[in-house]
Amino acid sequence: MSAPKTIPKDAQVMIQILKDMGVTEYEPRVINQMLEFTYRYVTTIIEDAKIYASHAKKSAVDADDIKLAIQCRMDQSFTSPPPRDFLLEAARQKNQTPLPLIKPYTGPRLPPDRYCLTAPNYRLKSIQKKVSSSAGRISVPRLSVGAVSSRPTTPTLGTPSVQSVSSKVGTPVSLTGQRFTVQIPPPSQTATTKTTTAASPAVSNVLINPSLIGSKNILITTNMVAQNAGGDGLKRKLEDDDDYDAL
């Protein structure tokens, strides 16, 4: 330990407290951490107490205010586990029900979907502008995409899209993880563009019909990691799709 005069008094007190509580080995940063915590806690309590004192129209903060402030903070931030008798009672109730029988042949045994984390955690924005000029390319499967905002300069396509069958919000689990690159033919351009630059982040709500894919052998890869619905389009490198068919 360095000479006392280089350590501030608060830190010395903290070192003493740690020693009293039996903590003999600790990293040096622990003292800073504890001091920070102490400072924050004490100021929070005192500020709360000031509010309580002024609420009670007292001129000065007194011990009761502090006590009240501490109590409120304890109930809020520093909760403790439930008391023993409550736990015993809860356990008694829970343990009365017999163990449920296990149904055979049910595949992965998971709770109902509401309680699982397997659903997609995003939702898609609805159509802003419909794609009118795609009439000539009706063979293009219609895709629903997230907000697309690809900058005109980049040859990339931001299509954080996912297909949704019949615009249901809950897409089946199996579709997660699929990747599609989509070329959305912009309304004003001709067909043979490999990359598209959407003039506006207009999104066309398109439905993919998987049955259409088969023969065309369109390899569609999309970026699946759209967390926010309507999040900005993610710039992605366009994959080299040899099988890519001009749409």
Partner 1 sequence: MAAVQGSIVDAKDEADIKTEPATDGFGNNHANDAGVLSASPSSTAPAGNNKPAAGAPEDQQTLLAVLQFLRKNKLSESAEILRREAGLPEEALDPKGADSAGSGLGSGADIDGGDASALLSRVTVSAPGGAKAPTKAGEDQPDVNVVLSAYSQQGDPALYEVYYSGLKKFIESVLDCHRAELSQVFYPLFVHMYLELVYNNHEGEAKAFFEKFSGDQECYYEEDLRILSSLTKKEHMRGNETLLDFRTSKFVLRISRDSYQLLKRHLQERQNNQIWNIIQEHLYIDIFDGMPRSKSQIDAMSGSLAGEAKREANKAKVYYGLLKEPEIELPLDDEDEEAENEEGKPKKKKPKKDSTGSKSKKQDPNAPSQTRIPLPELKDSDKLDKIMYMKESTKRIRLGPDNLPSICFYTFLNAYQGLTAVDVTDDSSLIAGGFADSTVRVWSVTPKKLRKVKTASDLNLIDKESDDVLERIMDDKTASESKCLYGHSGPVYGISFSADRNYLLSCSEDGTVRLWSLLTFTCLVGYKGHNYPVWDTQFSPYGYYFISGGHDRVARLWATDHHQPLRIFAGHLADVTCTRFHPNANYVATGSSDRTIRLWDVLTGNCVRIFTGHKGPIHALAFSPNGKFLASGATDGRVLLWDIGHGLMIGELKGHTECIYSLRFSRDGEILGSGSMDNTVRLWDATKAFDDLETDDFTAATGHIHLQDNSQELLLGTYLTKSTPVVHLHFTRRNLLLAAGAYNP
Which positions lie near partner 1, rule CB under 8 A? Answer: 20-22, 67, 70, 74, 78, 80-85, 87-88, 90-91, 94-95, 97, 99-102, 104, 106, 108-112, 115-118, 172, 174-175, 177-179, 210
What minimum distance in Å lies between the beta carbon of 39 and partner 1?
20
What minimum distance in Å lies between the beta carbon of 190 and partner 1?
29
What minimum distance in Å lies between the beta carbon of 86 and partner 1?
9
Any idea of the CA torsion for 175, 180, 186, 192, to the nearest 10 degrees? -140
Task: Quote the CA–CA distance of 205 and 221 in Å, as a whole number.
Answer: 17
Find the angle CA(83)-CA(86)-CA(88) to the nearest 5 degrees.
105
Q: Are 90 and 146 in contact (CB under 8 A)?
A: no
What minimum distance in Å lies between the beta carbon of 133 and partner 1?
28
Q: Report the Cα 196 to chain-centroid distance in Å.
A: 30
Cβ nearer to partner 1, comparing 118 with 128: 118
Task: Quote the CA–CA distance of 196 and 156 in Å, as a whole number.
Answer: 8
Cβ nearer to partner 1, comparing 107 with 152: 107
Q: What amino acid is encoded at 132 in this protein?
A: S
Instruction: Using alpha carbons, select from 31, 36, 39 the residue that is nearest to residue 14.
Output: 31
Find the angle CA(163)-CA(165)-CA(166) to the nearest 5 degrees.
130
Backbone angles phi and psi of 237, in degrees to 5: -75, 135
What minimum distance in Å lies between the beta carbon of 186 and partner 1?
26
DSSP, collapsed to helix, strand or coil, labels residue 126 as coil
Cβ nearer to partner 1, comparing 127 with 224: 224
Cβ nearer to partner 1, comparing 1 with 117: 117
DSSP, collapsed to helix, strand or coil, labels residue 223 as coil
What minimum distance in Å lies between the beta carbon of 222 and partner 1?
11
Cβ nearer to partner 1, comparing 7 with 119: 119
Task: Quote the CA–CA distance of 49 and 55 in Å, as a whole number.
Answer: 10
Cβ nearer to partner 1, comparing 73 with 125: 73
Instruction: Using alpha carbons, select from 245, 216, 222 the residue that is nearest to residue 145.
Output: 222
Cβ nearer to partner 1, comparing 9 with 109: 109
What minimum distance in Å lies between the beta carbon of 73 and partner 1?
11
